[in-house]
Structure 1
Amino acid sequence: MTVAASTTPAGQCPQCWQHAHDKRIHRKLRPREHCPQCADHMINGCPNITPKKSRWW
């Protein structure tokens, strides 16, 4: 998870970003099987979104 946190753009959830861009994570799933972590984020939302930088200055 730390790899995704360093490359995750501001305003994005590190877990969702990593799961969307790293195909190795879902490789172990059978066809039409849902990822438990992705399903949890779809139902409960993303708890750890990287804050966007302020553009005021």
Structure 2
Amino acid sequence: MPAQDTPPGQCPQCWQHAHDRQAHRHLGPREDCPQCVDHMVNGCPYLTPKKPSFWW
């Protein structure tokens, strides 16, 4: 489940896995997370919204 407070321009799954210890709790020592490996190989499946532009 993606984190609710994901900043604009960030992938919700990447953000959660980087900042929530519960995301990798089920893994053993030196065991790779299949979701993270999939992200590294195939890229993020989410269309991340861009940060709001404050140019004008």
Long gaps (5+) in structure 2: none
Bigger relative contact order, structure 1 or 2, given CA contacts below 8 A and separation 6+?
Answer: 1
**Length, aligned pairs only:** 55
Q: Any stretches of 5+ residues in structure 1 without a counterpart?
A: none
Using the size of structure 1 for normalisation, the TM-score is 0.81
Alpha-carbon distance in structure 1 between the residues aligned to 2:19 and 2:12: 11
Identity within the alignment, %: 67
Tell me the CA shift for residue 51 of structure 1.
2.2
Select the residue among 21, 28, 33 that pairs with 1:23.
Answer: 21
Q: With structure 2 as the length reference, what TM-score do the two structures score?
A: 0.82
**Over the residues paired in the alignment, what is the CA RMSD in angstroms?**
1.4
Shift of 1:50: 3.1
Q: CA deviation at 1:52?
A: 1.5
Which residue, out of 31, 34, 37, partners 1:36?
34
